[in-house]
Amino acid sequence: MAFELPPLPYDKSALEPYVSSKTLDFHHGKHHNTYVVNLNNLTKDTALASLSLEDVIKAVAGDAGKVGVFNNAAQVWNHTFYWHCMKAGGGGAPSGDVASAIDSAFGSYDKFAEEFKNACVTQFGSGWGWLVAENGGLKIVKTPNADTPLANGQTALLTCDVWEHAYYLDYQNRRPDYVQAFLDNLVNWDFVAENLASA
Ligand code: MN
């Protein structure tokens, strides 16, 4: 079965004014979809086509002859994960188990937010900022281009897409403003809690 573009988990205007429907129209309908189309073309009639998306990523990670497959598969997965990291009325400090885990790892939500924003802003060029679980603890990492915690032995808990296509229509060059709006108004902590519970 071919890989498919999952629908957005909310209406295209749901994240306004922080992420516009125009951005989601291009980002989901064009960018994310193109990764799906490319992945299907690259895996057509190969053994990879019958694997789950996660297994494709793990199978080709680090394989110099399969960089195109890795890049497109990881970008399909990263984007689907990213859509779920946001919701209308999200953001601000979490509560419950996520709050405890963040306090334990970073000292406070404010310290976490500062470090997460710094990772997102300092990722040179295209990439992603992440909160991940690794060896029982939480940490913040940034990955270039399509690279993903899934390929690095880490469990993704939260991500912010910092490719320019994620924010340029709404924020132009102001990546720090986009990341701040993501933290203050968009983070879906319920999704983070689900990921933490299964980490
Ligand atoms: Mn993107």
From 35, 58, 84, the end of a domain falls on 84
**DSSP summary character for residue 46:** S
Domain count within the chain: 2
**Residue in 82, 66, 61, 73 with CA at minimum distance from that of residue 15:** 82
Tell me how many helices (H) and strands (E) the chain has: 9, 3
Task: Say yes or no: 114 and 79 in one domain.
Answer: no
State the pLDDT confidence band at 198, using cuts at 50, 70 and 90. Answer: very high
C-alpha angle with apex 90: 88 to 93, nearest 5 degrees? 175
Residue 138's pLDDT band (cuts 50, 70, 90): very high
Kindly report the pTM of this predicted structure. 0.98
In the predicted model, what is the mean pLDDT of residues 50-77?
97
pLDDT-derived band at 125 (thresholds 50, 70, 90) equals very high
| 67 and 117 together in one domain | no
- What contacts 99, CB < 8 A, 6 or more positions away? 93, 109
Q: Which domain holds residue 36?
A: 21-84
Last residue of a domain, one of 84, 107, 126: 84
Query: Residue 161 C-alpha to ligand 1 middle, in angstroms?
Result: 6
* Averaged pLDDT of the chain: 97
How many Å lie between the centroid of ligand 1 and the Cα of residue 107? 30
Q: How far, in Å, is the centroid of ligand 1 from the Cα of 63?
A: 23
Domain match, 193 and 100 both: yes
Query: What pLDDT is recorded for position 114?
Result: 98
Question: Which pLDDT does position 1 carry in this prediction?
Answer: 61
